[in-house]
Amino acid sequence: MALDRESVLNALRTVKDPELFKDIVTLNMVKDVKVDGSAVFVHVELTTPACPLKETIKRDVEAAVKKIGAQTVNIELSANTRGPMQPRKDLLPQVKNVIAVGAGKGGVGKSTMAVNIAVGLQRQGAQVGLMDGDIYGPSMPTLLGIKGQTPKVQGSKIIPFHVHGIHAITIGALVEEEKPLIWRGPMAHGAFKQLFSDNTLWPELDYLIVDLPPGTGDVPLTLCQLLPITGAVVVAQPQQVALDDAVRAVRMFQQLGAPILGIVENMSGEDFGRGGAEKTAQRLNLPFLGTIPLYRELRINSDAGTPEKNFEGNPQLKEALEKMVQTLAGQISLRNMQPRGPDLNIL
């Protein structure tokens, strides 16, 4: 039987997205098919830029098309669609996914995880931005190695730093070093909005990671009011006192209509225990994104502002971080195939 476009599409209907459990034709992931004799070209658009199973999809597509007689199969993978998630009023139309990283209490490594999520997604081939939304205690100048540097300005807009392959902005680079930031509620709301959207010139991004202050205050509410975020990641330590606060953070995001993409257990080990965050995720029927043990290298690289070394040195640390990032990317993919919830309108 001669190959044609329809026979190729029928073959591709046997290829299922490993996370969504539907075939890639039904999911509208097949954007183009060309047939030239026994040679076939297929363009597949992934549901998230850092799709952790893209090689599996590519392998399955090739096998399905060769099964019907193709001799050569050229597969192009891309991720250019936003899916059903649309920013309200096009506040950030150039950003495809906004991911909040929060915690119920301080000191659990939330900012460290936000940085490594951003760098990890970038290493998967995505365009990534990172906003230090922890306006009470910004730690990104240290974690990114940009202490003492000031961002460039274009007109009335701040251009984010481009470091470690990501685009980053922090209020810590705009105020005097070591100066305490004392904000009342409306001031915090206004400062966050200006830094997040009004005064920052973000480029086109697949992901914008927003590191939020710990707790359940004004800034998470402001973020959820500004635009429907793709989802939130909650960082916790495994001991019970930290897990109690993590659950409060989960409930806050749920009350604000922000989907929970998962929980991360940080600093797992003998000193803080292990497994508590995973059990909590199971109890709350939420995804568990992974365990990050308390490695010495993670502390050293964080203090030195060299997060990319976390993915290049200790193989166990590299594996733990990459697994966490890939699991998160999969959850974002699942979320983007679901309908968006109603806009939040709290005055």
Same domain? For 177 and 38 the reply is no
Residues β-bridged to residue 158? 153, 200
In a domain, 72, yes or no: yes
Task: Please state at what angle helix 110-123 crosses helix 315-336, rounded to 10 degrees.
Answer: 80
**Domain of residue 61, residue span:** 5-78
For tokens 């200006």, what's the residue?
194
- Burial, 272: exposed, middle or buried (Cβ in 10 Å; 0-12, 13-18, 19+)? middle
pTM over 0.75: yes
Same domain? For 272 and 160 the reply is yes
In a domain, 31, yes or no: yes
Strands 95-102 and 231-236: what pairing? parallel
Give the span between the Cα atoms of 165 and 119, in whole angstroms. 7
User: What pLDDT score does 260 carry?
Assistant: 94
Same domain? For 149 and 43 the reply is no
| Per-residue pLDDT at 39 exceeds 70 | yes
Same domain? For 62 and 194 the reply is no
Same domain? For 72 and 118 the reply is no
CATH code for the domain of 171? 3.40.50.300
User: What pLDDT score does 344 carry?
Assistant: 45
| Per-residue pLDDT at 208 exceeds 60 | yes
Give the span between the Cα atoms of 288 and 281, in whole angstroms. 6
User: What pLDDT score does 1 carry?
Assistant: 59
In a domain, 347, yes or no: no
| Per-residue pLDDT at 340 exceeds 70 | no
| pLDDT tens readout for residues 253-296 | 888 888 999 999 998 877 777 888 999 999 999 999 999 998 99
| Per-residue pLDDT at 62 exceeds 80 | yes
CATH code for the domain of 24? 3.30.300.130
Same domain? For 38 and 167 the reply is no
In a domain, 68, yes or no: yes
In a domain, 332, yes or no: yes
User: What pLDDT score does 78 carry?
Assistant: 84
| Per-residue pLDDT at 339 exceeds 70 | no
Q: Is residue 200 within 8 Å of residue 234, measured between CB atoms?
A: no
Q: How many domains are there within the chain?
A: 2
Residue 201 has a CB neighbour count (10 Å cut-off) of 17
Q: Return the minimum-mean-pLDDT range out of 97-101, 108-112, 340-344.
A: 340-344
| Per-residue pLDDT at 190 exceeds 70 | no
Same domain? For 123 and 195 the reply is yes
| Per-residue pLDDT at 178 exceeds 60 | no
Quick one: average pLDDT of 184-199?
63
User: Where is the domain boundary, 57, 78, 99?
Assistant: 78
| Per-residue pLDDT at 345 exceeds 60 | no
In a domain, 201, yes or no: yes
DSSP string, 162-230: EETTEEEEEGGGTS-TT------HHHHHHHHHIIIIISB----EEEEEEEPPSSSSHHHHHHHHHS--S
Q: Return the minimum-mean-pLDDT range out of 170-184, 230-244, 256-270, 283-297.
A: 170-184
| Per-residue pLDDT at 346 exceeds 60 | no
In a domain, 83, yes or no: no
Higher pLDDT, 280 or 212: 280
In a domain, 344, yes or no: no
Q: At 83, is the pLDDT very low, low, confident or very high (cuts 50, 70, 90)?
A: very low
Give the span between the Cα atoms of 116 and 112, in whole angstroms. 6
